[in-house]
Amino acid sequence: MGQGFWNATDACCNFYGSTVDDEGYLKGVVDEIQSKLSVDPKRILFFGHSNGGFMTYRMACHDSARIAAVAVLAGEMPLDASGCQPTKAVSLIHIQGTADATIHYDGGTVAAGVPPYPSAPTSVGDWVGYDTCDPSADTSGTPLDLDSSLAGAETTITAYHGCKSSSDVVLWTIAGGSHIPTFQPGAVGSVVDWLLAHPKP
């Protein structure tokens, strides 16, 4: 077929009827890395963009006993999240632009005839529930200047605290941000730092 994709959710992005088990593949990659290198078992982390973000959510749903934290850029949960039943808390940072024309911030479909996906706030809200966080949103964080193509500090922070196992759930909303933000130097590093700061207890 010549088309690379992660077989992540019903919404994104298996348009070819593939039966490939990407979840099993990624679990195997983690197993292999752990067998060959010294890995902190409390800091198994995933970071995915777009289709990779959908896949990252799938991994958090199905390997929560091992995964400490995930970062998702412009990807969403399944609209029907009943298949996501994490057994342990997973910290989440979700990043998305409101002007994303590929994966819409307010939800939509990737292609005709494909099931829809939810909005970014709904995806984050699912994890507020899974991690049993305080549902009161904390919007007091200082806005960030993540995208060099946009003027000023365009990214607002919505955080949820009081989650089980000291996890955190955070939404960074890039006002006017596109599907592929023009990140400021150090922006991706700040996301990695956030992930590393959220190990398993």
Is residue 143, in this structure, part of any structural domain at all? yes
Is residue 12, in this structure, part of any structural domain at all? no
Is residue 7, in this structure, part of any structural domain at all? no
- Please report, for residues 6, 18, 116, the alpha-carbon distance to residue 93 in angstroms, rounded to integers and kept in the order given: 20, 29, 22
Is residue 166, in this structure, part of any structural domain at all? yes
CATH classification at residue 147: 3.40.50.1820
Longest Cα separation, the chain = 48
Is residue 119, in this structure, part of any structural domain at all? yes
Is residue 2, in this structure, part of any structural domain at all? no
Low-confidence ranges of the chain (pLDDT < 50): 1
Q: How many CA atoms lie within 13 A of 42 on its CB side?
A: 9
Domain count, the chain: 1
* Residues of the chain by 3-state class (helix, strand, coil), percent to 5: 25, 20, 55
Is residue 13, in this structure, part of any structural domain at all? no
DSSP 161-188: -S-GGG--EEEEEETT--SS--BPTTHH
From the number of C-beta atoms within 10 Å of its C-beta (0-12, 13-18, 19+), residue 194 rates as middle
* Residue 97 φ/ψ, nearest 5 degrees: -90, 145
Q: Show the domain range for 126.
A: 22-196
pLDDT of residue 1: 42
Residue 97, beta-bridge partner list = 174
pTM of the model: 0.96
Is residue 169, in this structure, part of any structural domain at all? yes
